[in-house]
């Protein structure tokens, strides 16, 4: 075999959805619907990289097909870039399934909290858990994500809320990145909630984050991003600014949770702070959204959250696309919204936020790569990028939103290696 011959090839894909960069990175406005599809598509891979993208006929004429060791026939199948999940909280211990019946009985979040549930239950359990336990929990989640077609994941800390527990959580994320086939991007979210021992003293906790947590985490290289849960009654816009500005001084890139429950002018703040991505945005006002579009802040929409909270309003995705905001999708996986499946999120995005299947797929691939600043490596099927590919038991991309409640994945390739074969 010649040196430039592939060691893996996918041929005869009914649809090869490349999400080619020619339609913009990130995709905005009408371009979100441009998938750059190749019929009877083929991809060739050498080591961990894509070395050819085109039709099967072109692949056969370019390479000695018989000599390629791994050949995958994708007849009647759809091939897309691996999904990227740019906003999750997978580092935690325990579970909160008992809260569903309380929610169904009409109990408020505060009542659930008073009954010993909610986020503080997860904080108690995560603080008690060993590093090894957090890694073990994370591995199970990543395995399922991979099985559902995700190849790159962001995860946040934020269930430790003390220096030691936040460091333990980020160490778990870093170990998972090293040991698991998936790429795991770490975000420090010490400002996720006010820890019980700081009740009524939020400013003191903000000072702890700024003076101890951020410097330590940055010096140990444990996180790439810093996030804040900016919300009425949690962290104010002023406190959020203080934390994000401190994080920036230490080289952590900014992202924020905003306007989930109330409009606190979070979208405007995201634009002002030049956040890479901002999540939730259910209640954001038009002025803020226009500022986000102008500043190029990516809107990370998390339709699993209103679904779990049984809300009738979702983020105004159509308006965001019209305003020219790059939109991405994520699971927001956490103990209160537990899904590993981007396929499920695509379904929710289409049915409840009126994204088209093409827009949802763009949101879950190239725009998600931009939300993690990895658009040069992943998010599309192009020569030179990582060979992160997913093959689906579906003839076209519309099936991703059309046939729901099942896993359509047949094969997942991560860094050029087959990691899932259903």
163, 231, 147, 145: which is closest to 155 by C-alpha?
145
CB of 331 to Zn ion, least distance (A): 9
Say whether residue 259 binds Zn ion (CB under 5 A): no
Site string for Zn ion, 276-315 (x = CB under 5 A): ----------------------------------------
CA distance 146 to 139: 10
By beta-carbon proximity to Zn ion, the closer residue of 93 and 332 is 332
Contact 381, 43 (CB under 8 A): yes
**How far lies 327's CA from each of 33, 76, 89, 287, 291, in Å?**
12, 30, 20, 17, 14
By beta-carbon proximity to Zn ion, the closer residue of 96 and 414 is 96
Please work out the total of residues on this chain that contact Zn ion, with binding judged by CB under 5 A: 1
By beta-carbon proximity to Zn ion, the closer residue of 217 and 337 is 337
CB of 87 to Zn ion, least distance (A): 6
By beta-carbon proximity to Zn ion, the closer residue of 304 and 316 is 304
DSSP letters, 293-348, are: HHHTPEEEE-THHHHHTT-S----HHHHHHHT--EEE----BTTB----HHHHHHH
**DSSP class of 82:** P
- Which H/E stretch holds residue 357? helix 357-363
Contact 17, 397 (CB under 8 A): yes
Site string for Zn ion, 115-154 (x = CB under 5 A): ----------------------------------------
∠ CA 367-395-45, rounded to 5°: 60
Please identify, among the stretches 123-131, 138-146, 270-278, 324-332, the one whose residues bind Zn ion according to the rule CB under 5 A. 324-332
By beta-carbon proximity to Zn ion, the closer residue of 332 and 382 is 332
By beta-carbon proximity to Zn ion, the closer residue of 182 and 189 is 189
State CA 374 to chain mean position distance.
12
CB of 38 to Zn ion, least distance (A): 35
Please identify, among the stretches 13-21, 194-202, 283-291, 329-337, the one whose residues bind Zn ion according to the rule CB under 5 A. 329-337
By beta-carbon proximity to Zn ion, the closer residue of 18 and 367 is 367
Say whether residue 227 binds Zn ion (CB under 5 A): no
By beta-carbon proximity to Zn ion, the closer residue of 302 and 413 is 302
By beta-carbon proximity to Zn ion, the closer residue of 260 and 382 is 260
CB of 367 to Zn ion, least distance (A): 17
Buried b (16+ CB within 10 A) or exposed e, 316-338: bbeebbebebbbbbbbbbbbbbb
Please identify, among the stretches 114-122, 291-299, 327-335, 366-374, the one whose residues bind Zn ion according to the rule CB under 5 A. 327-335
Say whether residue 332 binds Zn ion (CB under 5 A): yes
What is the dihedral sign for C-alpha 180, 181, 186, 192? negative
Please identify, among the stretches 59-67, 288-296, 331-339, 344-352, the one whose residues bind Zn ion according to the rule CB under 5 A. 331-339
202, 169, 201: which is closest to 186 by C-alpha?
169
φ and ψ at 109, to 5 degrees? Answer: -55, -40
Q: Which residue is listed with tokens 């960069």?
A: 21
By beta-carbon proximity to Zn ion, the closer residue of 332 and 388 is 332
In the sheet that holds 83-85, the strands lie side by side as 83-85, 150-156, 183-191, 225-229, 253-258, 277-280, 298-301, 327-329
Site string for Zn ion, 8-27 (x = CB under 5 A): --------------------
Three-class DSSP category at 287: helix
What Rg, from alpha-carbon coordinates, does the chain have? 21
CB of 132 to Zn ion, least distance (A): 25
Please identify, among the stretches 21-29, 92-100, 289-297, 328-336, the one whose residues bind Zn ion according to the rule CB under 5 A. 328-336
By beta-carbon proximity to Zn ion, the closer residue of 40 and 332 is 332
CA distance 365 to 360: 9
Q: Which residue is listed with tokens 């192009």?
A: 382
Please identify, among the stretches 129-137, 332-340, 364-372, 401-409, the one whose residues bind Zn ion according to the rule CB under 5 A. 332-340
CB of 266 to Zn ion, least distance (A): 13
CB of 18 to Zn ion, least distance (A): 30
Point out the residue whose Cβ comes nearest to Zn ion.
332
Q: Which residues, 60 to 99, sit near Zn ion by CB under 5 A? A: none
CB of 329 to Zn ion, least distance (A): 13
Residues lying near Zn ion in the complex (CB under 5 A) are found at 332
């Amino acid at each position: 075999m010649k040196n430039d011959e592939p060691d893996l090839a996918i041929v005869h894909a009914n649809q090869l959805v490349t999400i080619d960069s020619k339609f913009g990175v990130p995709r905005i406005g009408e371009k979100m619907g441009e998938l750059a599809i190749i019929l009877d598509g083929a991809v060739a891979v050498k080591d961990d990289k894509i070395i050819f993208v085109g039709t099967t006929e072109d692949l056969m004429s370019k390479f000695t097909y018989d000599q390629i060791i791994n050949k995958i026939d994708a007849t009647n199948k759809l091939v897309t870039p691996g999904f990227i999940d740019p906003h999750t909280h997978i580092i935690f211990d325990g579970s909160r399934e008992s809260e569903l019946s309380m929610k169904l009985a009409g109990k408020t979040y505060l009542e659930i909290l008073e009954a010993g549930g909610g986020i503080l239950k997860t904080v108690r359990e995560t603080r008690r858990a060993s590093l090894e336990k957090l890694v073990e929990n994370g591995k199970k989640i990543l395995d399922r994500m991979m099985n559902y077609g995700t190849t790159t994941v962001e995860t946040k800390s934020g269930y430790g809320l003390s220096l030691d527990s936040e460091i333990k959580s980020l160490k778990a994320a870093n170990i998972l990145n090293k040991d698991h086939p998936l790429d795991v991007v770490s975000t420090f979210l010490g400002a996720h909630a006010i820890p019980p021992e700081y009740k009524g003293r939020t400013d003191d906790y903000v000072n702890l984050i700024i003076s101890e947590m951020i410097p330590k985490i940055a010096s140990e290289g444990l996180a790439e991003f810093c996030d804040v849960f900016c919300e009425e009654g949690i962290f104010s816009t002023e406190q959020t600014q203080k934390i994000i500005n401190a994080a920036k001084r230490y080289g952590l890139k900014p992202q924020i949770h905003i306007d989930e429950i109330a409009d606190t002018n979070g979208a405007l703040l995201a634009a002002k702070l030049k956040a890479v991505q901002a999540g939730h945005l259910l209640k954001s006002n038009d002025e803020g959204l226009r500022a986000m579009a102008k500043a190029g802040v990516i809107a990370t929409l998390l339709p699993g959250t209103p679904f779990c909270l049984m809300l009738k309003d979702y983020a105004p995705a159509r308006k965001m696309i019209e305003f020219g905001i790059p939109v991405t999708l994520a699971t927001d996986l956490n103990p209160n919204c537990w899904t590993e499946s981007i396929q499920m999120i695509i379904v929710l995005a289409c049915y409840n936020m009126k994204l088209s299947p093409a827009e949802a797929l763009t949101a879950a691939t190239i725009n998600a790569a931009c939300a993690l600043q990895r658009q040069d490596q992943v998010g599309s099927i192009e020569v030179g990028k990582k060979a992160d590919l997913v093959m689906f038991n579906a003839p076209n991309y519309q099936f991703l939103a059309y046939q729901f409640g099942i896993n359509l994945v047949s094969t997942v390739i991560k860094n050029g290696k087959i990691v899932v074969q259903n």
